[in-house]
Each structure stands twice: as C-alpha cells, then as structure tokens.
Structure 1
Amino acid sequence: MPNFSPVDYAVPGFVLLVLIEMIWARKMRREAYEPKDTLTSLAFGLGSTVSGLLFGGAVVALFLWLWQFRLFDVPWTWWAWALCFVLDDLAYYWIHRFGHRMRWFWASHVNHHSSQHYNLSTALRQTWTGFLTLGFAFKLPLVLAGFHPVMVAICGGFNLIYQFWIHTEAIGKMPRWFEAVMNTPSHHRVHHATNPRYLDRNYAGVFIVWDRLFGTFEEERPDEERIRYGIVRQLGTFNLFYSVFHEWIGIAQDMWRAPWKHKLSYLLREPGWTHDGSRETSDMIRARWVARKSVASENPIAEPREAA
C-alpha cells in the first residue's frame, strides 16, 4: 500500500529549519537546545516514520474498504479539498483532546510532550504506538461521509506539516487577526506548558477557533509567568525506549496493583487519576492553583509561590 502522506516529503525542509533555529539559538537563546534532548527528539522522529510505514498502509487499506459504505460521493474539487481540510482539523482537535483526557490515548501522545525544551526538534517527537490507541477512528466519519481516504490522508499530512513551525520560541506573537483564527507558536507554547493555568489547553492543530468554540483556549501570558515545558512528572532521563514506553509501563503497573473494580479506570480515566488520590489530575492541579491565586488576591502580602 503506497504512502499518501506529504509529511515524508517535508522532512528535508524540517531538518533545514531545525539547523537554522539552532544557529539562532546559539546567538539568542542557548538554553533552547540541549544536545541529548535534540538527539532523542530526532530518534523519536525516525522511529515514528518507521512505525508509520509499518502500520499507516493498513489504516489506509481499512479506510478504502469502509469507503464502499459511504453516504455520498464527494468530488475531487477545490471546495471538497478545503472542506476536507477543515473537517480533518476538527477531527484532529478531538483526537488531540482525548489524547490528554484519557490515559489510554495519553500513553501514546505523552511522547510528544516529554521534552523540557521547546524548539523545532520537539515537533519531531511523534509517537511510535499511535496505532494501538485506534485514534484514527475519529476520522472514520469523513470517509463514511464520502471523502476519499487518500484525500483524508493528504489533508492530515498537510495538517501535521503546518504544526511543525509552531514549535518554536523564536517567534513571538503573530498579528492579532492571525492569532484569532490560526494556531501559532504563542498558542502552542501554552499547550506544551506544565504551568497549572496552561495545563490541557489549546488542542488545535491548524485552527485555534476550535479551542475558542469548545472552551479550551488559553492565552499566553509571558509577562506574568515564564512557561515551563515537559510533563507534570518529568522523565528525568534521555533513554529513548523508556521515553517511548514509560506511560504504557505505568499503566500496566497501576492496573496490576489496583483492586479489580478500579483496573479499567487506569485506562479510561484522565492521566494522574488514582483510586486512592495519591496523584493529581490536571483538573486537580489547576483547581489547587486557582484556590491559591484566590487567597493571594485577598491577601497580596502572603502571595504563594506558583505551583509546579
């Protein structure tokens, strides 16, 4: 089965832009890159490409088979491509949102957030195990509606290509009209932050309007606090295979130790949930932060330190 994703053809451009950003970082922000972290990101990207070659064809084949059950015949016209791109981005929003709100999906998606640095190489930290989560099912409605699977695959590829450039600190705010509609480096920095106010916000791929519409948008506030990147419980290692599989290992350990009535909850509930309250979810972390800020606003002299 041929590979219909344009992402593979964009890889040389990705590498060139990473090199350009490295030159910028040496002069403007040396801490933006860390050699071991960058090598890990590149290895993630290579492994993800191999995984895509192994399993991507099977997904396209499944979509081609399901296409015979389509409701309509969507033509290969410019408006169909535009509509497919927008609807594919909406599907991506929900895939991405589930990737943060259900641990089964998070076990795959956490790979992308595991770096404590934010640069273009971070964009290459793509999952090796995405096929396990069956997240591609979110795009089945497009195929059943009549969009050809090849059209859906190509639109999804261009969606990922767009997202590459927003993984940078070299670009500040874009023009206001652009920030209002499109995903930008500023919006996506928020998404990669571990600061309580930013957790699980800005899931957009291309169009930030989905976050504004569904109540998950958060503005970047660089004047109030500096963004801290990574995950709430940082890996503390550059070991590639641990970085790839650590959350799957954690799920297995939690399910093994948990009482029977709670085992499935460690798969289906949000990351950080525990039956005994020994860890915190992003909602709990944010609620604690809001409460601390509320106390601080009433008593500015005793303003607490920001929660981690």
Structure 2
Amino acid sequence: MPADGTTAGSGLICSGVVKRFAGLAALDGLDLRVDPGELVGFVGGNGAGKTTAMRVVLGVLAPDAGEVTWAGAPVDPTTRARFGYLPEERGLYPRMSVLDQLVYLAELHGLAVNDAHRAAESWITRLGLRTARDTEVQRLSLGNQQRVQLAAALVHDPVLLVLDEPFSGLDPAAVDTLAEVLRERARAGVAVLFSSHQLDLVERLCDRVAIVRAGRVVSAGTVSGLRADGGVRLVVEAPGAGPGWADGIEGAHVVEVDGPRTVLALADGVDEQPVLAAALATGPVREFRVLRPSLVELFRETVGTGR
C-alpha cells in the first residue's frame, strides 16, 4: 500500500511514480490519492514536482516507473478524455472567440454539437463571461483568460479536475467564484486536485492536503489532522519575566519572543503545566494558551526539513 494509505478502487491513485529528466528525478516514488467528491490541495516549493506529477496524470508525460490509476484501472486515453485540466501556462487559442473555443474543446472531449453549445453557454454564464462571449481570447484581461481556461477544463463535465495554480491572476471576486465552483464540483462527486501557493485558500477549501518535496509526498492528511500532528505551541505573556525565563524547561524550546510574549514549542507528550509554573514564578501571567500551527507554518517546516 502506498505511504498515504491509498487503496485500490479509489478515484485517482498515483503509486510510486518516478519521472527523471537527464538523470535527475523530478518525481521520486510519488504516492498520491484523490477520491471522488474530494478537494485535495497539492502544495510544495518551486521545483518540488507538482506540475510534473499533473502532467503524468494527464498523459502529457510518461512515468519511468510506478502507476497511475482511476477507479482501480490503469489510466488510458479514454479515461483521460474524462479528465479536466487547467495548466499553469495558458493553453488557449488566442484568436478564437470564447464561445467557439469552448464548443470546440467540448466536442474534442466527445460531446455532441448541441450538448457542447449548451455546456459552453452554461459555463460562460456561471463564470461571468457573458460580455466576453464573442470576444477573441487574446483581447481579454489575464483574469478573464483564466476564467476561460477554467471553463475549458469544466465544459465536458469531467470526473476529475486537475488544476495547476488556478487562482493565479484572479481578483478577489473571481477567487470567490472559482472557490465556490470547486466546492460545487466536489459536492457533485468530482475529484478535484489543485496546486496553489496561496496556502490560506488551500487551508480554507481543501478536504485534504498533500505536501510534496523533492518529488515525494512527505506529508498528507486533513488540515486539522496535519495541524494536530504539527505539535503543541504555547503563547505565554508574562510581563515580569526576564530573558531566558523558559530556559531549562524540559521538552520546551522558545520559538519566538515579542516583548513580554513568548511562543514555545513543546515536544510530543510534554505537559504544559511546568511552563505555566515557570511563568507564574516570574509574576503575573496575562495570557497562556495553546496554539496550533497554521498550514503556512506546517508548510515551511515540512518543506524545510522533509519531515
């Protein structure tokens, strides 16, 4: 079984995927799962392997080792025709109108002409593109081009959405629209995998997060689960405490000091009461609370250490 707990019969499963370029491993035994009806955030530093992994899933690149399956069967061209893809770089025909482009792409995915027109008109309306319906893509703003790119990924009603930096270039209103569309698609049973450097959005939207480093998923799970696994931190405000007041507390180390406020990280299983006792020994304690790390902090720690 892959390291992230994947099982046969799930939606998308990448098992031990390896991809090398000139002898260098862009993917080094990557394990990844995205179930139907699930939003999974795929995060990592630049060069971590996110885009390469997505291209392998879509068949743009062939893996050197490992396997990609959908619903328990190897992914083939027929299956991939049911996937939707939004690349980080624009993949649109600049001189085609928005409507013609979406109809054409829907037909390429197997929709009949009338169905393609209905689907294209529906997504043009849903994504706020009515005024741009007959405009050439090259004449649109970058934000509206991104909306068209998203419509192109959705127009054939895919069972899996693979989106590489879908929020790039969008204004806050468009971000909200896209976020709601992704939630709707997940509620409809679509498996959604997207990468993003906007970790606040990932934390807000996703059912699960997979953090990739050097071509491997090094941490995966729900945001709440990852935060719980990230250890306990204590925020202590002790106005009378001098420098080094927390030194010598077993299993605790100071992470940050800001005036009278100190943030300490506790090792697994360490009780916070000795910290409270040490703080009270310095005088009044105005604040003493448990703090769980944010996804941004978890990302920095995981990508920095490979934990």
Indicate whether the TM-score tops 0.5: no
* Structure with larger Rg: 2
Could you state the TM-score of these two structures normalised by the residue count of structure 1?
Answer: 0.26
The structure richer in strand per residue is: 2
The structure richer in helix per residue is: 1
